[in-house]
Amino acid sequence: MVDYLRILLNARLAKMEERGASAVEYGLLVAGIAAVIVVIVMVLGDKVKDAFNKTCGAISAGASATASSTCK
């Protein structure tokens, strides 16, 4: 009976250790994805900003003279 309880206890402890390892793996995965997003934003940020500014300028140029422009 004692051996049976020891086996059950060891199984529960093993599951707890696996949960901790999984949490660390998920944390590293999230950190990696965040780092990739930051790099992409830094590399493409100016290009996207320029595209939006060009689009806003084209819309403003085509708008009527009485409409107010909201481009900055």
Q: What is the pLDDT of residues 11-70, one digit of tens each?
A: 766 665 556 667 888 999 999 999 999 999 999 999 999 999 999 988 888 775 455 555
Domain annotation covers residue 48: no
> What is the CB neighbour count within 10 angstroms for residue 59?
13
**Which positions ≥6 away from 70 have C-beta within 8 Å?**
56
**Which positions ≥6 away from 41 have C-beta within 8 Å?**
none
Compute the distance between CA of residue 38 and CA of residue 53 in angstroms, rounded to an integer: 22
Domain annotation covers residue 65: no
Q: How many domains does the chain have?
A: 1
Q: At CB < 8 A and 24+ separation, what contacts does 16-24 make?
A: none
Compute the distance between CA of residue 56 and CA of residue 62 in angstroms, rounded to an integer: 10
Domain annotation covers residue 47: no
- Domain residues for the domain of 27 are 1-42
Q: What is the pTM of this model?
A: 0.49
Domain annotation covers residue 17: yes
